[in-house]
Amino acid sequence: MRILLVDDEEELAEPLQRILTNQGYTVDSANSGDRGWEMAQVGGYDLLILDWMMPEKSGVEICRAMRQKGDNTPVLILTAKDTLDDRVDGLDSGADDYLVKPFELRELLARVRALLRRAPSPISPSNEPVKLNYGDLELDCDNQVLYRDRMAIALTEREYQLLEYFMIHPNQLLSHEQISQHLWKEGEDLPTSNALAAQIKLLRRKIDRDRQISLINTVYGKGYRFG
């Protein structure tokens, strides 16, 4: 099945394209709204994954224009907008589903599978496990197991969520608030900065072992950078 991914955030788009390809999908990508709109009009896609906020033409504008043309290709909107009014606007544009950043890969893949069931003659995606890679790290997302230099490292649920978030955003400064909101979901009390620092320390201990240089770097007063 063919998927068009339109997102100007390369740090997110590149690993998403790789993961979807590993799952057996054919994935084309565009890093601007105008280019995405040109590719969408060519047609032949079973699903469009569109970022809401992009230069030139937004994902919502692309979706609305497609619906006006009578194109009913399933559309999944990705966005950092998370108010009720934003969700309503996104769905009113004709989108079939809406996913708020940051999100977990398993949820994204589940949404993709659900939307693709609408497409004719579905082809089952690969049964290969979802994996993220960075250097000599390999994270098996299905089984929540980390490998470094091919040695398995067991992770707790929170450690897995934290490392997955870092590996989706390599070399990017992530604030304490961004990380906390990803780890502690809506309805949970956000922890103190000391609690997050303790979680980071536990993860470092597992992935760094005796290495002198840590993959998780503290940016004092701001947050952390992975890579």
Q: What is the pLDDT of residues 177-189, one digit of tens each?
A: 888 877 776 556 6
- Reduced to 3 states, what is the DSSP secondary structure of residue 3? strand
CA torsion sign, 164 to 169 to 173 to 175? negative
Q: Which pLDDT value is given to residue 121?
A: 46
What single-letter DSSP state applies at residue 192? P
Nearest to 217 by CA among 227, 208, 207: 227
Q: Which pLDDT value is given to residue 135?
A: 86
Number of CB atoms found within 10 A of residue 154's CB: 10
Q: Which pLDDT value is given to residue 90?
A: 59
- Reduced to 3 states, what is the DSSP secondary structure of residue 38? helix
Dist CA 28 CA 80 (whole Å): 22
What single-letter DSSP state applies at residue 22? H
Tell me the domains of the chain and their CATH numbers: 2-116 (3.40.50.2300), 157-226 (1.10.10.10)
Angle between helix 105-116 and helix 10-22 axes, rounded to 10 deg? 60
- Residues with Cβ within 8 Å of 17's Cβ and at least 6 positions away in sequence, in order, are 5, 27, 29
Q: Which pLDDT value is given to residue 6?
A: 92
Phi/psi at 208 (nearest 5 deg)? -90, -30
Q: Which pLDDT value is given to residue 124?
A: 47
Q: Is 140 left (phi over 0), alpha (psi -120 to 50) or beta?
A: beta
Nearest to 133 by CA among 120, 146, 115, 152: 146
Dist CA 176 CA 190 (whole Å): 11
Dist CA 64 CA 95 (whole Å): 8
| HEC readout, 93-142 | CCCCEEEECCCCHHHHHHHHHHHHCCCCCCCCCCCCCCEEEECCEEEECC
Burial (CB < 10 A; 0-12, 13-18, 19+), residue 213, is: exposed
Q: pLDDT below 70 — which residues of the chain?
A: 81-92, 118-129, 185-193
Q: What is the pLDDT of residues 196-217, one digit of tens each?
A: 888 899 899 889 887 888 899 9
